[in-house]
Amino acid sequence: MKKYVYFFGAGKAEGTGEMKELLGGKGAGLAEMTHIGLPVPAGFTITTEACDYFFKHGRKLPRELSAEVAANLKRLERVTGKKLGDAEDPLLVSVRSGSARSMPGMMETILNLGLNAGSVAALARKTKNERFAWDAYRRFVQMYSTVVIGLAKEELEAKLRALKARLGVKDDTQVTAEGWRGLVAEYKAHFRRKTGKEFPEGPQEQLWDAIGAVFESWMAEKAVTYRRVEKITGLLGTAVSVVQMVFGNLGENSGTGVCFTRDPSTGEKHFYGDFLINAQGEDVVAGIRTPMPLQEMARRMPKVYEQLEHARRLLETHYRDMQDMEFTVEEGKLYMLQTRVGKRTPAATFRIAADMVRERLISKEEALLRIKPEDIERLFYPVIDQSVARTELARRQLATGINAVPGAAVGKAVFTAHEAEDWAQRGEKVILVRRETSPEDVGGMFVAQGILTATGGKTSHAAVVARGWGKCCVVGCERLDIDYAQKLMRANGRVVRQGEWITLDGSEGSVYEGEVALVMPELPPVYHTLLGWADKIRRLGVHANADTAHDARKAREMGAEGIGLCRTEHMFFKDFEQPERSIERQLAIQEMIIADNREARRKALEKLLPFQRRDFVNLFKVMDGCPVIIRLIDPPLHEFVPHDREKQAELARKIGIDVEVVARRVEQLREANPMLGHRGCRLAITYPEILEMQVRAIIEAAIECKKQGVKVLPEVMHPLTLDRKELALLADATRRVADEIIKKSGIKLRYLVGTMIELPRAALLADQVAEVADFFSFGTNDLTQTVMGLSRDDAGRFLPDYVDEKKAGIFSADPFQSIDVEGVGLLIKWAIERGRATRPKLEIGICGEHAGDAASVKFCHQVGMDYVSPSPFRVPVARLAAAQAVIEERAAGKKRRQAKLKKH
Ligand code: PEP
Ligand code: MG
């Protein structure tokens, strides 16, 4: 039979610290602390499996649970020598939530359970403290009413405030026993009015209701949101720990506190915490009174402090990680109520990990496993200052969307890219707000502090471009009603006009009104040490996606070893090195597209050639000695031409043709489904002169660099290939142009020709495709789109429902962010196996957005890719994840070997 309840107390525990999945962090911590001899109040933990059962069976508890709880309650009463709800010597308990992953403050807890008219009197007698007993009771009635029944907390708080006003006192500690007794009566009357029932007196009823309410809180809005934001998936639910109450509010010899074994902000090794004399735990959390630092406690209660210091040392060496502990002192006796791995700032994460390696508490591998991708990401982006109150943020919140690129940004809202450029030129800080963005907007996007769009998902144009620059970006903010004509947006009942300040939080996907204070984190001194360890361990190479020399410099600074994707079309609209020439190159590309015959197209391409060649020269120079994979033109051409009449007229004038010709050509380019239309290498099949110009630019640039002593390793990549024959045509054309130039130059130059794998057909036929490709690079943005049949630009509208456990909960993560291992992953594995069967040395990488997602990087390692290529700012995450993949692989191998040995 399944065991749903685990007891701990009197120095023994049925559970252990290892059983976090089943007992939750709190239950496992209490069991483990009991084992290692720390003073822990007795109790029992109901497992997360019971919670899982509860939700799977229409909120019914497993039948056998009631007998198990009854038996454990008896045992608890025996150990403590008290009885729940007794009118002589009552046992009071807390009923606490706690899942395998810490979710601070997201779920519920009920304290002082077991109080009723009889037991409150007994408690007063026993403690000789009537005021204390009634204070405990009013707290219980309030918690029960709000947490179990769901009555509004504010209404009860208002009654407390009114009571204090009547008594003419400021602090809760000044309220008398009589005062609390009156408040309990008021609360109970309120309860009756609201529910039509009496407040429950029976301790059994109270207990079971509380257990149900704690389970219920697993699915409360805030808990679900927290799990989504923190990417916590795969847990069964919360456990419930029923623990004997100990009281920190029994007088000056009692108190309660929270402490960390090291400083959670800096990581420094000093005992850090807060202590409140004569208080219950919730008072510390609620911040009603100002607590004293632990050092003050050392002075006031030296003996207890010494015990606490002992617990600190014991727990840290036992768990080999920084612990966050809660404790209570009841009349001079210390009780440990909780220990868990402490949350810390990214800077502290690095420092603690490195310090613990030095102290020989953990190995380098363990240190690396402790760093989360977010810890690294948060080091490179400005963030909202922690001192800004949550309530302040809630007040300012305009809308939420998809958190496309982390970090935060403050600026004036501007609704067109052109104006954003003008404003920025004048020295203004702007946030570009668009329904969606297109390549035409890159200038405005580049100068903006942050980008906000009403539509789109994590691989939409705005997200991809912003990520490349490490620029804060929130997309898919469906609630925004953007009015371009009036230059304003409406959200949450408010209006933001052009020029008004807004703040974006790209880590959470929030938009706030006004200027919120930001801070730039400093790189921790040991950052390079830890990433150096990662580089030594990892097997995967880490390249970066970079379109310009500027991006490439950033990529190298972040540790990239090559360029895995240079999207040439991103160079068409802005000249990053000579901005004053941007218009000139825009015109050249537009003229090329508008041209309706080969000759005219060739002429326009001639103009574009020097620009592209200069781009590549600069890129190669920055990447001296590293491979550079350059992809030929990819997006549908209509993205590069103007759609409104005014701009068409302007273009016609500039290139000296009739506006009707421009309009007709733009109309011709219109497609019902451009993402599946005339794009990718299909453009080069139809217009081979584009391929010729781009290959020429690449090879001539490479030769020029080589002459200057730069080590160049160019790789020409064809996007969206369908099959062998198509790629063979393109590869032949590429080699013809390249070889002729090389031959003429008299310089020796090695280059590769390969393809992106972005379509299921190419992946399925990878063995044939590999016959004509030197390399594969998985374009998982398009591959996800085409395998799933979900538009990468539109799916943002409904995908949140797909990953929200409270809604459809169909996916555990956004497939455009983290590779869908089951579906898309299967195809990738197939393509790698088949590709390498044909060409064992086939170079294989990934350049879709997934390359910067830690879970996807681990997948890429497992399937044997050679490298991953994320945007420059995500390079450090990829370096870390690639190392973690090796460490985890070794650990899994060791486990398997051990299991095998055991079997024999
Ligand atoms: C991809 O599809 O994964 C890719 C890298 O190309 P793009 O995002 O430019 O379509
Ligand atoms: Mg693509």
pLDDT digits (tens, 9 = 90+) for 181-218: 999 999 999 999 999 999 999 999 999 999 999 999 99
720 Cα nearest atom in ligand 1: 2
Q: What residue has token string 């070889």? A: 739
How many angstroms is it from 267 CA to the middle of ligand 1? 40
**Quick one: pLDDT band at residue 347, thresholds 50, 70, 90?**
confident
Tokens of 817: 């962010």
* C-alpha dist (Å) from residue 674 to 569, 670, 793: 16, 8, 12
pLDDT tens digit sequence for 550-587 = 999 999 999 999 999 999 988 887 888 888 888 898 99
Q: Is the pLDDT of residue 31 over 60?
A: yes
Contact by Cβ (8 Å): 474, 468: no
Give the ligand 1 atom nearest the CA of 850: 3
Q: Which atom of ligand 1 is nearest to the CA of 847?
A: 5
Mean pLDDT of 96-112: 88
**Per-residue model confidence (pLDDT) at position 110:** 94
Q: Determine the distance separating the centroid of ligand 1 and the alpha carbon of 34, expressed in angstroms.
A: 54
Q: Phi, psi at residue 108, to the nearest 5°?
A: -100, 160
In this prediction, residue 346 has a pLDDT band, given cuts at 50, 70 and 90, of confident
What local confidence, expressed as pLDDT, does residue 696 receive? 98
Ligand 1 and 781: CB distance under 6 A: yes
Distance, CA of 192 to CA of 185 (rounded, Å)? 11
Q: Is the Cβ atom of 700 under 6 angstroms away from ligand 1?
A: no
**Residue whose CB lies within 8 A of the most ligand 1 atoms, among 437, 781, 850, 871, for a mutation test:** 781
Q: Mind listing the pLDDT tens digit for each residue in 704-720? A: 999 999 999 999 999 99
The ligand whose atoms approach the alpha carbon of 828 most closely is 1
Cα–Cα distances in angstroms (integers) from residue 392 to residues 477, 490, 494, in the given order:
21, 20, 16
What is the 780 CA–ligand 1 centroid distance (Å)? 7
pLDDT at residue 459 tops 80: no
| DSSP sequence for 152-212 | -HHHHHHHHHHHHHHHT-SSGGG--HHHHHHHHHHHHHHHHHHHSSPPP--HHHHHHHHHH
For β-strands 408-414 and 402-405, DSSP reports them as unpaired
705: its two tokens: 């660099």
568 CB within 6 A, ligand 1? no
Query: Would you call 569 helix, strand, or coil by DSSP?
Result: helix
C-alpha 887 – ligand 1 centre gap (Å): 30
Task: In whole angstroms, give the CA distance from residue 733 to residue 751.
Answer: 14
The mean pLDDT of 685-693, rounded to a whole number, is: 96
The atom of ligand 1 lying closest to the CA of 567 is: 9
Residues near 438 by Cβ (< 8 Å), separated by ≥ 6? 461, 639
Q: What gap in Å lies between CA 582 and CA 578, rounded to an integer?
A: 7
Specify the ligand 1 atom closest to the Cα of 565. 5
Distance CA(184)–CA(204), nearest Å, equals 20
Which structure tokens are listed for 334?
A: 């210390």
- Going by pLDDT thresholds of 50, 70 and 90, the confidence category of residue 285 is low
The pLDDT of residue 161 is 93
636 close to ligand 1 (CB < 6 Angstrom): no
At 600 the pLDDT is: 92
Read off the tokens for 57.
Answer: 């069976």
Local confidence band at 288 (pLDDT 50, 70, 90 cut-offs): low
pTM value is 0.81
Q: By C-alpha distance, which of 755, 756, 763, 754 is closest to 828? A: 763
Which ligand lies nearest to the CA atom of residue 564 in the structure?
A: 1
Q: Say yes or no: CB of residue 780 within 6 Å of ligand 1.
A: yes
Report the amino acid identity of residue 900: K
- 491's enclosing H/E stretch is strand 488-491
The helix-helix angle for 65-80 and 203-217 (nearest 10°) equals: 120
Token readout for 579 is: 């901005």
Query: Ligand 2 centre and the CA of 590: distance in Å?
Result: 22
Quick check: 275 and 255 in contact, CB under 8 A? yes
Ligand 1 contact via 377 beta carbon (within 6 Å): no
**Helix/strand/coil (H/E/C) assignment for every residue in 378-430:** HHHCCEECCCCCHHHHHHHEEEECEEEECCEEEEEEECCHHHHHHHHHCCCCE
Categorize the per-residue pLDDT at 404 as very low, low, confident or very high, splitting at 50, 70 and 90: confident
569 lines ligand 1 (CB under 6 A): no
* Ligand 1 and 758: CB distance under 6 A: yes
Probe residue for ligand 1, chosen from 816, 847, 860 as the CB with the greatest number of ligand atoms within 8 Å: 847
Inter-residue contact 151 to 190 (CB < 8 Å):
yes
Ligand 1, atom 6, lies closest to the CA of 779
Distance CA 456, CA 454 (A): 7
Looking up tokens 């790629």, which residue turns up?
727
Among 438, 442, 460, 464, residue to substitute to test ligand 1 (most atoms within 8 Å of Cβ): 464
| Ligand nearest the Cα atom of residue 793 | 1
Going by alpha carbons, the residue nearest to atom 1 of ligand 1 is 779
* Ligand 1 nearest-atom number relative to CA 848: 3
CB distance 42 to 10 below 8 Å: yes
Give me ligand 1 centre to Cα 629, in Å: 13
Q: Among 780, 782, 786, 869, which is best to mutate for testing ligand 1, by the most ligand atoms less than 8 A from CB? A: 782
Is the CB of 779 within 6 Å of ligand 1? yes
Is any ligand 1 atom within 6 A of the Cβ of residue 567? Answer: yes
The packing angle between helices 346-358 and 373-380, to 10°, is 120
If one compares 149 and 809, the residue with the highest pLDDT of the two is: 149
**Cα-to-centroid distance, 558 and ligand 1 (Å):** 22
Per-residue pLDDT tens digits for 722-738: 999 999 999 999 999 99
Are the beta carbons of 31 and 14 closer than 8 angstroms? yes
Ligand 1 atom at minimal distance to the Cα of residue 758: 2
Distance 229 CA to ligand 2 centre (A): 27
> Which residue among 566, 572, 758 has the greatest number of ligand 1 atoms within 8 angstroms of its CB, and so is best to mutate?
758
Ligand 1 proximity of 618 Cβ (cutoff 6 Å): no
509-558 pLDDT, tens per residue?
999 999 999 998 888 999 999 999 999 999 999 999 999 999 999 999 99
Question: Which atom of ligand 1 has the smallest separation from the CA of 459?
Answer: 8
DSSP per-residue string spanning 815-866? TTTS--TTTHHHHHHHHHHHHHHH-TT-EEEE-SGGGG-HHHHHHHHHTT-S
Q: Which atom of ligand 1 is nearest to the CA of 719?
A: 6
Determine if ligand 1 sits within 6 Å of the CB of residue 782. Answer: yes
User: Does any ligand 1 atom lie closer than 6 A to the CB of residue 564?
Assistant: no
Q: Are 371 and 353 in contact (CB under 8 A)?
A: yes
Inform me whether the pLDDT recorded for 287 exceeds 60.
no
Give the active site residue among 51, 472, 705, 847.
Answer: 847
Q: Pick the closest to residue 795 from 481, 457, 541 (CA basis).
A: 457
* Ligand 1 center to 402 CA (angstroms): 19
- In terms of average pLDDT, the best of 370-379, 754-763, 788-797 is 754-763
* 211-255: pLDDT as tens digits: 999 999 999 887 887 787 677 888 999 999 999 999 998 889 999
Q: How far is the CA of 825 from the centre of ligand 1 (A)?
A: 16
- Is residue 401 a contact partner of residue 476, using CB atoms and an 8 Å limit? yes
Tokens coding 599: 């000759």
- Over residues 658-682, the pLDDT tens digits come to 999 999 999 999 999 999 999 999 9
Q: What is the largest CA-CA distance in the chain?
A: 103
In ligand 1, the atom with minimum distance to the C-alpha of 779 is: 3
Query: Would you say the CB of residue 848 lies under 6 angstroms from ligand 1?
Result: yes
Share of the chain above pLDDT 90, in %: 78
Give pLDDT, residue 286. Answer: 53
Q: Which residue has the tokens 């090794």?
A: 269
Q: What share of the chain is helix, strand, coil (3-state, %, to 5)?
A: 50, 15, 35
Closest C-alpha among 870, 860, 781, 789 to residue 825? 860
Which 8-state DSSP code applies to residue 499? T
Say which DSSP state 46 is in: E
pLDDT-based confidence at residue 877 (cuts at 50, 70, 90)? very high
Q: Which two tokens stand for residue 704?
A: 């020029």
860 as an active site residue: the answer is no
Asked whether 547 lines ligand 1 (CB < 6 A), one says no
Confirm or reject: Cβ of 464 under 6 Å from ligand 1. Answer: yes
- Indicate the helix (H) or strand (E) that contains 482: strand 481-483
Tell how far the Cα of 843 is from the centroid of ligand 1, in angstroms.
18
Q: Residue 634: CB within 6 Å of ligand 1? A: yes
Angle between helices 177-195 and 130-143 (to 10 degrees): 20
Ligand closest in space to the Cα of 567:
1
State the average pLDDT for the chain: 93
Output the residue whose Cα is nearest ligand 1's atom 8: 781
Catalytic residue among 259, 461, 472, 570: 461
State the distance from the centre of ligand 1 to the C-alpha of 562, rounded, in angstroms: 17
For ligand 1, whether the C-beta of 815 sits within 6 Å is no
Q: What is the whole-number distance in angstroms between the Cα of residue 330 and the centre of ligand 1?
A: 62
* Length of the chain measured in residues: 904
Cα 831–Cα 834–Cα 838 angle in degrees, nearest 5: 130
461 is catalytic: yes
